[in-house]
Structure 1
């Protein structure tokens, strides 16, 4: 039987790991997220803060994948529904939905709305797959876990430099 951990303890543990990774300490780790039907890996040092999805204010005349603006502790973040951006279904606004504040480290208040968090992942548990030549540079790397499930590796720096991602206007 698995040991039960309270959500508060898990969040404290994850916040500590994020801080450690951001300071360059500790071993390499990835954060697993789900966006629509896709599983993604993000370098823990690039992942930024994770918050429960708040109310997002829509912005007119923007692309369908741009969910809007969210106020996180007095700072405005541009929220992208990552599933829709990838061509998938809209992310349901339920208890599992999270905002991944990916841009802060890179000087941008960008956030990704994702379906749910899949926890911390050890890079040693994955095998590199052939990169997807049709995918944008920020999504080309792929990995397989021990069960054969394919995970996409998100390069946050490349995503934030992508002109399509940064151009939200229609």
Structure 2
């Protein structure tokens, strides 16, 4: 019995190590927000999870959806589609919260339409430059010809328009 358990442990360990190596190669997290495809470096992303109940905050901009309690920590939730001028995202279904900003001392979350999973840098090539907000690090194109916008979370978190959620 001990040999069987040791063998199973070694097999599980080998699988987990292989998966960890695959995760390093897949250094991007893809998500959809409204009609746009987005990417974020895994090192900039926190957790992605189903949206918990949101507590509305009065006198805020329509794109500021409220506060979410995630394991005892409050996160300000921004509807990323509405923030970017698209129709608002309905929480629930495939919508997810993408926690960002913990590295920068901010508890902020983006409400996104859905998560599209881990991606590799090798799956993309640069796309033609175009007008984009300052939080777009670069435009990319995947092998199917779809355009993706890479989010620079640090730039987003320092934008006055993002930080000023209160109504004037």
Query: Which secondary structure does the structure 2 equivalent of 1:26 belong to?
Result: helix
Whether contact under 8 Å (1:36, 1:115) holds in the other structure is: yes
**Is 1:144 aligned to 2:115, yes or no?**
no
Q: Any residues of structure 2 matched to 1:88-127 within 5 Å, and which?
A: 88-127=86-125
| Deviations, residues 13-32 of structure 1 (Å, cap 9, x unaligned) | 8xx86xx9xxxx93361000
- Higher radius of gyration, 1 or 2: 2
Q: Any residues of structure 2 matched to 1:74-89 within 5 Å, and which?
A: 74-89=72-87
- Give 5+ residue unaligned stretches, structure 1: 1-12
CA root-mean-square deviation: 2.0
Give me the TM-score of the superposition, normalised by structure 1: 0.82
| Deviations, residues 80-119 of structure 1 (Å, cap 9, x unaligned) | 0000001111112222111000111211000000011000
Q: 1:164 aligns with which of 154, 161, 164?
A: 161
- Give 5+ residue unaligned stretches, structure 2: 1-15
Q: 2:150 aligns with which of 153, 156, 160?
A: 153
| Deviations, residues 127-154 of structure 1 (Å, cap 9, x unaligned) | 111333x322211511000111000000
What is the CA–CA distance in structure 2 between the aligned matches of 1:84 and 1:152, rounded to whole Å? Answer: 16
What is the CA–CA distance in structure 2 between the aligned matches of 1:159 and 1:94, rounded to whole Å? Answer: 24
**Is 1:73 aligned to 2:81, yes or no?**
no
Query: Which secondary structure does the structure 2 equivalent of 1:83 belong to?
Result: helix
